Amino acid sequence: MSMDGEVRIRPAAANDAAILAAAAFEAMNWRGDGRLTREQLHSKPELSHYLDGWMRGGDFGVVAETEAGTGVGAAWCRTFTADDAG
């Protein structure tokens, strides 16, 4: 993707679930071999718990976006209980 202009970083918000899901999908398919589908990302509990119910208490992150407001990246953190570790 070619980007002209500035990219800004802002705190992630409750309505950023879609950009977080897009970032997670790209990160999980970093080799470019399409090993996971978007449906698998959302249906496999070991993957979906990184996104389900975003933004819950204790969640935080950042979103990178173009001047036009298009999300181009994200990083976030969640805590999990010992019986559902990340």
Q: Where are the domains of the chain?
A: 7-84
Print pLDDT tens along the chain (86 aa). 445 678 999 999 999 999 999 999 888 888 777 788 888 888 888 888 889 999 999 999 999 999 898 999 999 999 888 887 77
Residue given tokens 């978007």 in the structure block: 38
- Could you tell me if 1 and 72 are in contact, meaning their C-beta atoms sit under 8 angstroms apart? yes
Output the pTM of the full model.
0.79
Is 28 within 8 Å of 36 (Cβ atoms)?
yes
Enclosing H/E stretch for 28: helix 17-28
